[in-house]
A and B are shown apart, each in its own frame.
Chain A
């Protein structure tokens, strides 16, 4: 009988890390406050106790050094899983990501590799300042050599981390802080999932909504709203930013003829642009309306909830955009 548990997203992360430490040789887990404290959000709870300080350890506030350490140790036999507490902090260590981790396999002609995982979490929450609310997938997506996944459910998080840990590529697991408390069924002994692949979460015929990360919540809610108004939207969770599964999206759009893309990151230069460009190319002539994007504002995110409310995609705005494509 499959081992199924009802877990919160953050608990699922914890289980996946535990699985990694138990199952994948030479896995180590490090970051800030991940050992004795068990992680600022509890992702690494009890791992230090159960696997010891050699495998699970705390580090100084030195993200550049520890992402570099992740790379160097991955090149030489370990399988590090590093935690960047908020995705915003990645920018202090961006050189190690863009100029080092992403490059080494290619520039060594495949002789070195970087089998490492960087976990982080992103998104805005009420009162969070502009330095704690970035959504960073587009910066990563534009950096060839990286794999990037944005899980949206406990099961997705569990599987994404396991897939990432056994991968020989550097993988960013970009979790969502707002989704951490959400519960769902997790099959702990599930087969590993292959890397990549979008998922049709809500099948529909009239229009396609694609989202990822926190924004999926709003997208699904928009789907419900639309259903109540007689519009049958297909909602797709993009899941993996890299590798990118354009097929699933394009297949959906080929069917519906309409596409709304939603994400929390600013619209300009966001990954929605890439996706729109790709689908625009693939589905040329089959689109019945322009592809619409519903995104975070082109501004640093404000902290006050009164401003945040209009700064990020809501179900209303996504549903509105779909209705607009329907009347186009």
Chain B
């Protein structure tokens, strides 16, 4: 199983669909432990991604992800903008000139995790989107299958695991213990990214 450029565009369009639909929910999650704008930020950014991608032709996955990265970078702002921008940028760089099979995708996510950690000066377990991306990479490197449902499941359980964490990075960190019991908004939006990927892969 491989991901081609058309699928990559579909992946982003599907992601946008989900983000638009869940925008209020994401903002509500951010209101609980942040400043209440995560849904708005993501909706603004991914709408722009869809608008840009729809108007262009892409030779390879890398080009799609690069366009996605720069669009997010200049439309989202806040913490999520540089983070998602960096993650997609790293995935674009890692996939440049190659087919995107299971192994490449594992390398792409690895690079994204590295990028997120560096940009966010953060680690696993700090109740951020890294807690979705990093466990996903751990799982990907153990398998040679490009299994959409598996990706969705791991992203889902990782997202849920942020609920019990205490935030030490990002805005939620100011709440300390009070941040416990709430899902991390960036992890939930990251879950939508991988849910969209899973659906794209399954549709073929």
Binding between chains A and B: no
Interface residues of A (CB under 8 A from B): none
Interface residues of B (CB under 8 A from A): none
